[in-house]
Amino acid sequence: MSETMKAAMMYGPNDIRVEETEKPACPEDGLILKIMAIGLCGSDIRNLTTDSRKGDYPFIYGHEIVGVVDEVGPECTKYQVGQRLFLHPGTYCMECEACVSGHSENCENEHVAKLAGVGGFAQYIAVGGEKIHYGNIYEIPEGVSYEAASLAEPLTSVYSTMENAKVGFPDTIVIIGAGPIGDFMAQLAKLRGAQKVIMIDINQNRLEMAKQFGVDVIINNTDADPIEEVKKLTNGKGADKVISATPANINQAQAIHMVRKGGLVVFHGGVPKGSLTELDTNLVHYNNIWIKGQFGASYEQSKAAFNLAISPIFPTEKFITHILPLDEINNGIQLIRSGEAIKVVLHPWD
């Protein structure tokens, strides 16, 4: 009989069951990673609570994977048993036109991009030789916790947004959405020298928690007009850069009214599939507003994000409000949805 392992299997929207399933076999040219911590991401929650697989279940999600090498195949020479690794889910071919031009975030090689690791809500995951060859796997230095290293993945897109938007001194930044991504952004904006960070959300809990990450002003847009408030805080001019980091169309529409003439608006969060945002494009035109979309990150940026997550200058532990056993994944989802938790990390072996 083959060995089994514990995994959180998705059987349908909101139907996640932690049960025994077959442990993956070690690939000849790859390895088996024993998962020691796995982050619960906003995108996981979206996937786990909607029909994300169009009926194709059961399925194991989870992509913020860290662990220790438990087994290596005979043809795998790069890693040894006992090495602690962070498995970045993004993989780049570094051969296509986009990769060669320095924009690996737009890698055109779908096969390689799909080597991205999911299946982390489990005790083990198999890592094939191709993934090892293309890389974006990092060794966790001694003294850095598995939990801290797991934040490298959600930090990746944040890092690229901050870098591509050239956030720094003396910017006034508006971040719409005080979820973990918004909180990461606030902290990184401050590290990069932004002068003022304004955070907008509808959840007072989240806003209060955001204050510890360098947020200067919080605005609850259920009881105040966020556009008016931002104008007041910027001498009527608007902020230098406004980042919409929520799944709401309304926030994208509002963002262009909060930015100054010549300012930059970034759409960082995806909105419901198929939905359209109504924008005052004359305002965009006459005020010289630039709008940029941001998804993912380049190879270089994902590497930098890992280095940030494991660096003492970034207070990763402050973001992790809950460490739960994998069995409590449903509880973790609730904690994030209610705004009680910032970042939930699951332990498959507790």
Q: Nearest to Zn ion by Cβ — which residue?
A: 41
Per rule CB under 5 A, is residue 62 in the interface with Zn ion? Answer: no
- Name residues contacting Zn ion, limited to 80-99 (CB under 5 A): 93, 96, 99
**Looking at beta carbons only, is 66 or 264 nearer to Zn ion?**
66
**Looking at beta carbons only, is 27 or 154 nearer to Zn ion?**
154
Q: How far is the CB of 285 from Zn ion (least distance, A)?
A: 34
**Looking at beta carbons only, is 41 or 149 nearer to Zn ion?**
41
How would DSSP label each residue in 296-332?
A: S--HHHHHHHHHHHTSTTS-HHHHEEEEEEGGGHHHH
Q: Which helix (H) or strand (E) holds 33?
A: strand 31-40
Q: How far is the CB of 85 from Zn ion (least distance, A)?
A: 17
Q: Considering only CA atoms, which of 175, 256, 252 is closest in space to residue 214?
A: 175
**Which listed residue (107, 122, 125, 210) binds Zn ion by CB under 5 A?**
107
**Looking at beta carbons only, is 63 or 196 nearer to Zn ion?**
63
Per rule CB under 5 A, is residue 246 in the interface with Zn ion? Answer: no
**Which listed residue (7, 9, 16, 41) binds Zn ion by CB under 5 A?**
41
DSSP state of 59: B
| Binding region for Zn ion (CB under 5 A) out of 21-29, 61-69, 185-193, 242-250 | 61-69
Q: How far is the CB of 10 from Zn ion (least distance, A)?
A: 16
For the window 63-82, what string marks contact with Zn ion as x by the rule CB under 5 A?
Answer: -x------------------
Q: Considering only CA atoms, which of 316, 333, 337 is closest in space to residue 346?
A: 333
Q: Where are the alpha helices (DSSP H) in the chain?
A: 42-49, 97-100, 110-113, 129-134, 146-150, 152-164, 180-191, 204-210, 226-233, 249-258, 281-286, 299-309, 316-319, 329-338
Q: Please tell me the count of residues contacting Zn ion according to CB under 5 A.
A: 9
Q: How far apart are alpha carbons 347 and 350 in whole angstroms?
A: 6
- Name residues contacting Zn ion, limited to 124-183 (CB under 5 A): 153-154
| Paired tokens of 68 | 């220790």
How would DSSP label each residue in 161-223?
A: HHHHTT--TT-EEEEE--SHHHHHHHHHHHHTT-SEEEEEES-HHHHHHHGGGT--EEEETTT
| Binding region for Zn ion (CB under 5 A) out of 56-64, 204-212, 235-243, 289-297 | 56-64
Per rule CB under 5 A, is residue 109 in the interface with Zn ion? Answer: yes
Residues that bind Zn ion (CB under 5 A): 41, 64, 93, 96, 99, 107, 109, 153-154
